Each structure stands twice: as C-alpha cells, then as structure tokens.
Amino acid sequence: MSQFRRSVAVIATLAAVAAVPATASAKTTAVAKTSVASVEINVDKATTAVKRLKRAVRLGRSTVAKRELKVARSQSRAASLTARRLANRATTPAAAATAAQALTLAGTQYDTLLETLTGLVDDGVAQAPIAGAIQPTLAGKTQILTILTGLLDEVPVSVQPMIASIIASLGAGDATEVTNLDSALNIGNLPASIMGIVTQCLQLATQAIEDALAMIQGILPMLPTEAQAPLGAVLSQVTGIVGNLIPSVLATVTGLINTIIGSLPIVGGAGAGTGTSTGGLSGIFGGLLGGIVGGGATGAIPGTGNIMSMITGLLDGLLGGGSGTGSTSPVGGILSTVTGLINSLLGGLLGGGIVPAS
C-alpha cells in the first residue's frame, strides 16, 4: 500500500473522530480522540521507521536496519494494541465505529510493514531479523481483520458496507507479500538458514489470503449491493482452488477483488447504493475506504452473468492448461486467461481494458 493511500486513510480516520454523535458523553468523546490520536502517532512513527529501514537496507547499513526494524515493529504493535483495546471496550455503536476506524489504521500499517519486509528479505542486509518479523506481522494483520469482522454487527448500519469493504480490501485486495516471497525464493539469493523461514512464510501468506477469501464470502450480504454479485461469482469459483494458484495468478485474482471494490460509489464517500445516509460516519468511512484502495473507477460493475462467463474461462485456464490462449505452457495459459478476465472486467468498469505488465 502506497504512502499516499496510507496518508489518506490517516486523514479520514482523524476526521472521523469529529463525527462521534452528539449524544456521546464529553468523557467518551475525549477518550475516543485520545485513543485514535494515539494510534495515529504510533502509525506515523512506524511509517518513519519503515522509510529508514528501506534506506538502511539500500545502503547496506545492517545495524541501522535492525534498529529501525525494531522501532517499526514496536510502533505497529502499539497501534494495534490501542485499536484492539478500543474494540474490547466498545459498548455503543458509536464506540464500535471509532474502534473500527482505529483498527483500519492499524491494519493498514501492518499491511505496509508486511509488504516492506517481504520486499527486503532477499536484499542481503539484516535478512535474519527481517525474515523473522514477517510471520508475526502477518499474524498481527490477520488478528485485526478478525476483530474488524467481529465488529460488523456492532457498528451503525450506515457504515457496515464500508467496513465490510475495508475487510475485503485489506484481506484480499492484493497479494504483494505472496509475490515478494515467491520472488525471493526463485531469485536464489537466500542463505539456507533463511530459505526455510521464507518458504514457511509464503505458505502462511497464501493461507492468509485463502482465509480472507472465506471471510469475505461470510460477510458478502453486508457488502454494498453493487459488489455482492460480482464478488460472489469470483469467490464461488476460486475459493476452492486458491491453494493451487501460482502467486502471480493469485495476485491477479486479488487485484480483481480490489478493482471491484475500488469501482464502488462509496469509495468516494458518496454512500451510493447502500440505502443509507451519505453524511456523518457513512461518508467518512467511504473516504477511509478510498484511502485503502486508492480511489475508484467510474462506470458500472458488470452483472453476474458476465462475471460468471469470465470466471468459467479462468477455470478452463486453470484446469486445462490455458488451451486456446496461444501459450505453450500451463503457467502461460493460466496467466493469459486471467489477463483476459481482468481485461474483460475493466472493459466494463472503465470502457477499455488494460495492457498486461511486462
């Protein structure tokens, strides 16, 4: 997740504090402000440490890299702890919404740290501590997603679709960590002592996305109505075979999920299609979601029939080696089929397709 997207999420989260209903007591409002502000401070410190970590690795400064890694992890944990404490103490819908905002911010930071660690593990500097930090970071993000899901029934109805969308985007909006780890293993720069750790982390990261897909399937009725049909079609076809997907294809499928969510009107805070008011917490959560997915596309999401036909093509590529795609290898066939799927979907969303990345 880019720094720009995280910054948007921070701004939206802090703005949400002002939206606590007037019926809340002054003491409750003050506690909420302090708690959310505390999460934001921890996230800012973690973000700074992550930047310094990247720079230290790039310059080959192992001691500095280890120090900044320690700071990034401790500040990310502190943000998570405060957000989880808010969730445990939430006894009203407003308090639950505040906790959800704090959890989103902390979860976004975990996501950023996870992508950074998996991207640096094969760079030769501080590999052992970086590799050792991947699994607990992944566990921290997973814990936040689980708590967010548990809050869905507690928050105001008006923000349930946004929080469900946040869960979907954070959980399975991309597979950067999977592709990073797979690349690290394939490049061959890892010492034997690190290879086993990275292999295990790849398995855990893949499993985490598979679990997130199952979680999304469970909260599908709470997602915005525009997203339910296309996401339901994707999930019903791919959840049973995720463990057999190569990382690059898994990344494409999760990118498809993020594209669907990013195209929703609520991403811009409008609240369209939710059947709820567009003001207050609803609009703010829309802005928060936009910060996570990086803004939405314009245009309508294709209907279930079109999605089903495209997913059927995806399965043909997965199970039949991509016959008819012009590729001579099974992997090439799968990639070509998924690329066609994304092109077809984006054709409906944006009025045109995409050019496959080289």
Asked if residue 340 lies in contact with residue 356, where contact means CB atoms within 8 angstroms, the answer is no
Query: Which segments of the chain have a pLDDT < 50?
Result: 2-8, 10-30, 32, 269-279, 296-298, 319-331, 334-335, 346-358
User: Quick one: pLDDT at residue 348?
Assistant: 46
Domain boundaries, the chain: 3-350
User: Quick one: pLDDT at residue 167?
Assistant: 93
User: Quick one: pLDDT at residue 75?
Assistant: 97
- Rounded CA-CA distance 217/236 in Å is 8
For residue 300, count other CB atoms closer than 10 A to its CB: 11
User: Quick one: pLDDT at residue 309?
Assistant: 60
User: Quick one: pLDDT at residue 235?
Assistant: 81
CA nearest 148: which of 199, 202, 98?
98
Q: What torsion, rounded to 10 degrees, do the Cα atoms 241, 247, 253, 257 define?
A: 110
User: Quick one: pLDDT at residue 133?
Assistant: 98
Angstrom CA distances, 91 to 3, 57, 87, 222, 245, stand at 33, 44, 9, 21, 42
- Rounded CA-CA distance 291/6 in Å is 6
For residue 15, count other CB atoms closer than 10 A to its CB: 14
Angstrom CA distances, 250 to 182, 223, 314, stand at 12, 22, 12
User: Quick one: pLDDT at residue 81?
Assistant: 96
User: Quick one: pLDDT at residue 103?
Assistant: 95
pTM for the structure as a whole: 0.76
User: Quick one: pLDDT at residue 150?
Assistant: 95
User: Quick one: pLDDT at residue 66?
Assistant: 97
User: Quick one: pLDDT at residue 229?
Assistant: 85
